[in-house]
Structure 1
Amino acid sequence: MEMIKDRIILLIVINILGLHFIQARDVDLLTATYSEATVQKYLPTDNRWVNYPDYTDREGWTRLTDPFLEKLIKDADKYLDYKWQVVQATDYLEYERSGSRVIMEKPLNDNCRALTHLFFAELAEGKGRYIDQIINGSWYMTEISTWSLSAHLPAFQSSKRTLPQQGTHVFDLMAGDIGSLMSWIYYFLQPEFDKVTPIISQRIKLHIQERLIEPYLSRNDMWWQALDIDEGQLVNNWNPWCNFNVLTALLLVEDDVDKKVGGVYKTMTSVDKFINYVKADGACEEGPSYWGHAAGKLYDYLKLLAYATDNHISIFEHPIVKNMGEYISQSYIGGDRWVVNFADASAKGGGDPLLIFRYGEDVHSMEMMQFAKYLTEQQSSFNVIEGRDAFRTLENMICYPTFEKQTPQLPQNTYKWYPETEFLYLKDEDTFFAAKGGYNNESHNHNDIGSFILYKEGKPVFIDAGVGTYTKKTFSNERYNIWAMQSAYHNLPQINGHDQRFGASYKSRDVSFDPKKGVFKLDITGAYPTEAQIDKWLRSYELKNGQLLIRDDFNLRQTNTANVVHFMVAEKPTISKGIVSLGNGTHALTFDGNEFEASIDTIEQDDPRLSNVWGQHLYRINLKAKNMQRKGSYTFTIE
């Protein structure tokens, strides 16, 4: 009865949120399949499940690290004299004062990077050369006031301030990452530390318990847990990411068997909320940049859970898990590592090849495994160490020999349609087209319902700019004051003087895709406020023989301001009557010169997160209607 009740509640939430589920699917894949008693039965009381050599197994580590040994040693040697950086009180306060996250985050990230490199070099070499510095770095981690980032502290502290609060341990993404890294250091090097003094390992263990395990077990109100989920609440990458980290700590550090079993089952309950939230089609609404932290972290979590229970708890066979994995290969455009970058995602990326490969192995996706190998051929360098993520690095080392034998290839399908998320990717000759419907309350949302991007021969023509460096403003009530979030800076119309609005109620209608005709249609009326006076605004895209036809059919209740149709492009355009030339004349946007007045805005890119992708400038084409009319149609052709 309880399970049926939960499913009814979930369906009600889905309807309230307007999440566009087309078909029912199983929910609570973990806890509806496996009970806490199952966890207790199969979870060992010790660490015999760990799939890696002990520190003293020199032959095992030589075998595991041989392909990377020279680089591991070279990178770590740079940190033998590293001076561990202090994060000052004013660094935390800087987020309040200027909105900057970097001032506090950089020294902490640098310390984590140093500790990670030293740790893996010691595992690889095994001579003790790095032990003292690893002790220094580990000791430093136990001395800092918080493992959390200043940007995340106010949401979890009663003070609502960015200075760490006495007596409160905030569990955010960074705290989880540090706790997970420290758990692996504790597991592998405790005997070596104890040769110096047992105080070191005891202190590390205590702080992992105090900063991760105890807050997780004692609280249900951390929003990312989604255990007391509110109406309209998003469940994003934080959920699998943080749950993976606490699962690591529970498995490697917690000695109390009841706490461990209860904690593991609690993570399963929480992770189910993330899987339930994701659409059945598996698309990542946060974009490819977040795939490694969303679907990728779900994979890490499921793999760790499977390891710890000798594969007795595993859901890799469920279609949604495979769909979530293949999103990353489907979203790859090509060229200079271009990807479909809706929401806050960067337009360049592709993902971590070895993570994608391992995920593909476990869900039996040849597409993912071949794509992973293809990615390595497009990258100038290859790193086996995956940031501060010790588990991914260890798994990278294990899978590398099999990965090396894989054949590289991009996905061969001509289109990919995500009917629940309302994403469409369409390939035609040398053209890659992507468009979206959805709603304007997705995680990392931009107001972009009905927008599109277009790439020719692997190069960007019509684009989504993405997002700049995160600041306090990015995740505040001022978010939509940022130009990159606004529909006016996407490939969309401004209707009657109004842009799209943020919120779950602003969503697409009547979305359809005809694969035979290559036609994508949707009604974007619902994305605009009532003040726009729209009865209906239908937008359609048709891709054929490398040519894109865009059509807007509209009916307004009244007209107040001339409509403006915007297009964002990567290269400087030139205007002549009825034609906007792009790419030095290789592409053209044609329109009715009698109907529109064209102008160009140059948008300077002074933010490195954007300029590193696009260069110093982006451009916005503005087609302003010469006549105000209540009913009509606009047609644009890109060829």
Structure 2
Amino acid sequence: MIKKCIIILWINILGLSFIQAQDINLLTSSYASEDVRKYLAAGNDWVAYPDYTDRTAWNELVGPFYEQLLKEGDKYLNYEWQVVKATDYLEYERSGSRVIMEKPLNDNLKALMGLVIAELAEGKGRYLDQIINGSWYMTEISTWSLSAHLPAFQSSKRTLPQQGTHVFDLMTGDIGSFMSWIYYFLQPEFDKITPIISQRIKLHIQERLIEPYLSRNDMWWQALEIDEDQLVNNWNPWCNFNVLTALLLVEDDADRKLQGVYKTMTSVDQFINYVKADGACEEGPSYWGHAAGKLYDYLKLLAYATENKVSVFEHPMIKDMGEYISQSYIGGDRWVVNFADASAKGGGDPLLIFRYGEDVHSMEMMQFAKYLTEQQSSFSNMVQGRDVFRTLENFVCYPALQKQQAQLPQNKYKWYPETEFLYLKDADTFFAAKGGYNNESHNHNDIGSFILYKDGKPLFIDAGVGTYTKKTFSKERYDIWTMQSGYHNLPQINGYDQRFGASYKSRDVSFDPKKGVFKLDIAGAYPAEAQVNKWFRSYKLKNGQLVIYDDFDLPQANTANVIHFMVAEKPVISKGVISLGAGQHSLVFDINAFDASIDTIEQDDPRLGNIWGSYLYRINLKAKNIQQKGIYTFTIN
């Protein structure tokens, strides 16, 4: 039974609600190490999937996808395994490109996954030689890490793999987990050829994954030596899930396995502690599958390995974290709320969402998952990249998903009071706005910004993020236009945009569901040089009309304020009205107070271009008068 380990204090002052919570350490406060020792299954008895030789069970499991799985595997029977060259690693230093190194490695892993799943489905040995080749290749490359991640963990601070150093990053974890399943399912078949193959695979899993994890506490994503303001993002559950997989499938020493399993629980607790009690994913829907989704995978694997004795699925926060993905779905062409680095399109993996919903008893998630499956082909989601666990779980849950009814969430609003995200639905309108602070994971300087969709189509937008490069996660991050508040739906105050840092945050945030009004003071997001005492921005949505008020107080006004709006389609300016969405909608402003202009932003980045097309547009409303106090009003019809 889970102990009551969270303390939440609700305070209501002048109609504003605040939540104060302490670290809950959900896993380790509920289960001691000795509890886990008692419940942890011996060997691999916990694995519920068929043995390789059980053809009847495999035929039943893969069912209608059998022919497609073999067709995919056949594509790689003559695959030429690609070499990741030394200069591919160095390219990240030279040009900032991650793709040069990542593409050949990803291509190899895709081929290996296709071969492995096809062999498990067919069981005739046709794919074994190529699986051996691919597995052997993985043990021969110098590192399982990506070039972009090597400098942070190597004493050389360079991108070329360093002798004697095993870097444990996201890719290392993924490969280690993948190789663990290959070892589990195919060791007997490999041993018929030579035991050296399995011995080598096991050795490299231990050296590259298990040993670094057990011997170190200083890898930032473990959050075991955590600083007060440290981010704990999707790396934590993602990497912990992978090492848990390796420990359960490969580690033979019972004490060492227990030590590792409990260490993962201690580490994952830090991720749960970091996430706000409202369950929102500050990284956005694109990262939900790697954040809450990977937490779910981790918790499911832990439950499997302990015969469901170690389980926290009944905790309401875990359910709230799951339902974030269904609540963040807008509709139309799979549009989602995309604050931070998230893409504006997605929706998530329906089979993962369904399984998560089953375990937390969320009908909303299960119905949403079925809705998503009706927007795409059934096979497209079955094989999950290089993730064997998710792929096998997909086959297991597919029949139950098919019986589910499809439906989107029916609530009219969703308010995340700690993360300060608000979603409002009104007639044909979907509105989302945010508060928060400017040091969120995958942060953009966007406190007080909003997005607005009409009839499932984007009107006022958040551009999202372009293709990742060296600059994206460097000190130059905020030189990138998509990260700047000036390219969000926000004011430039006294000539200044918002500043990056944990101290730059919203103030006096409130939401009135009866009036449909979201209000916050964004002054704290701007530097001292902006000379702003207060800048209360409020949004009121009613009958599909959005009214925006900016109520400001500047002790000193030196430069004209500029209000920026980002839109998806080319706007047309007329007197006091900006026509939007091919003339179907409009932004109304005071022509006596503002001069209007339009910036055309060409999209030369493929990631942004695939979402928005060739151009995005920024509306600039520059104040005609420099004034210390005032109220601006904008109406979107």
Which bracket does the TM-score occupy, shorter chain normalised? over 0.9
Q: Identify the residue that residue 237 of structure 1 maps to in structure 2.
A: 234
2:245 to 244, 248, 262: 248
Counterparts in 2 of 1:595-606, with a 5 A limit?
595-606=593-604
1:272 to 269, 283, 293: 269
Task: Specify every segment of 5 or more residues in structure 1 that has no aligned partner in the other structure, as ranges.
Answer: 12-19
Other structure's SS at 1:185 match:
helix
Q: Identify the residue that residue 135 of structure 2 maps to in structure 1.
A: 138
Tell me, in whole angstroms, the C-alpha distance in 2 between the residues paired with 1:621 and 1:26.
43
Counterparts in 2 of 1:2-21, with a 5 A limit?
none
Other structure's SS at 1:612 match:
helix
1:418-469: CA deviation from partner (whole Å, max 9, x where unpaired): 0000000000000000000000000000000000000000000000000000
Tell me, in whole angstroms, the C-alpha distance in 1 between the residues paired with 2:553 and 2:447.
18
Q: Identify the residue that residue 623 of structure 1 maps to in structure 2.
A: 621
Counterparts in 2 of 1:209-608, with a 5 A limit?
209-380=206-377, 382-608=380-606
Aligned residue pair count: 627
Other structure's SS at 2:300 match:
helix
Q: CA deviation at 1:25?
A: 5.7
Other structure's SS at 1:513 match:
strand
265-274 or 20-29, which deviates more: 20-29
Aligned-residue CA RMSD (Å): 1.5
Q: CA deviation at 1:323?
A: 0.3
Paired residue type of 1:425: Y
Q: CA deviation at 1:584?
A: 1.2
Tell me, in whole angstroms, the C-alpha distance in 2 between the residues paired with 1:290 and 1:262.
29
1:367-404: CA deviation from partner (whole Å, max 9, x where unpaired): 00000000011125633101110000000000011111
Native 8 Å contact 2:351 2:381 kept in 1? no
Paired residue type of 1:449: I
Distance 1:21 1:472, change over 3 A: farther
Structure 2 residue 22 is matched with structure 1 residue 28? no
1:141-173: CA deviation from partner (whole Å, max 9, x where unpaired): 000000000000000000000000000000000
Paired residue type of 1:378: Q
Task: Specify every segment of 5 or more residues in structure 2 that has no aligned partner in the other structure, as ranges.
Answer: 10-16
Native 8 Å contact 1:171 1:211 kept in 2? yes
Q: Identify the residue that residue 88 of structure 2 maps to in structure 1.
A: 91
Q: TM-score, length-normalised on structure 1?
A: 0.97
Structure 2 residue 110 is matched with structure 1 residue 113? yes
1:595-628: CA deviation from partner (whole Å, max 9, x where unpaired): 0000000000010100000000000000000000
Tell me, in whole angstroms, the C-alpha distance in 2 between the residues paired with 1:67 and 1:209.
36
Q: CA deviation at 1:7?
A: 9.4
Paired residue type of 2:498: Q
38-47 or 377-386, which deviates more: 377-386
Q: Identify the residue that residue 14 of structure 2 maps to in structure 1.
A: none
1:161 to 135, 158, 162: 158
Among the aligned pairs, what percent are the same residue?
82
Distance 1:325 1:147, change over 3 A: same
Paired residue type of 1:84: W
Q: CA deviation at 1:67?
A: 1.5
Paired residue type of 2:623: A
Tell me, in whole angstroms, the C-alpha distance in 1 between the residues paired with 2:636 and 2:596.
15
Other structure's SS at 1:378 match:
coil
Q: TM-score, length-normalised on structure 2?
A: 0.97
Native 8 Å contact 2:6 2:21 kept in 1? no
Tell me, in whole angstroms, the C-alpha distance in 2 between the residues paired with 1:465 and 1:375.
23
Q: CA deviation at 1:271?
A: 0.1
Q: Identify the residue that residue 42 of structure 1 maps to in structure 2.
A: 39
Other structure's SS at 2:20 match:
coil
Native 8 Å contact 1:21 1:279 kept in 2? no
Tell me, in whole angstroms, the C-alpha distance in 1 between the residues paired with 2:423 and 2:381.
30
Other structure's SS at 1:343 match:
coil
Paired residue type of 1:292: G
Native 8 Å contact 2:283 2:442 kept in 1? yes
Q: CA deviation at 1:282?
A: 0.3
Other structure's SS at 1:559 match:
coil
Q: CA deviation at 1:322?
A: 0.2
Paired residue type of 1:613: I
Q: Identify the residue that residue 17 of structure 1 maps to in structure 2.
A: none
Counterparts in 2 of 1:67-78, with a 5 A limit?
67-78=64-75
1:37-65: CA deviation from partner (whole Å, max 9, x where unpaired): 01111112210100100000000000001
Q: CA deviation at 1:21?
A: 6.8
Tell me, in whole angstroms, the C-alpha distance in 2 between the residues paired with 1:21 and 1:299.
28
Native 8 Å contact 1:186 1:204 kept in 2? yes
Native 8 Å contact 1:326 1:367 kept in 2? yes
Tell me, in whole angstroms, the C-alpha distance in 1 between the residues paired with 2:329 and 2:66.
31
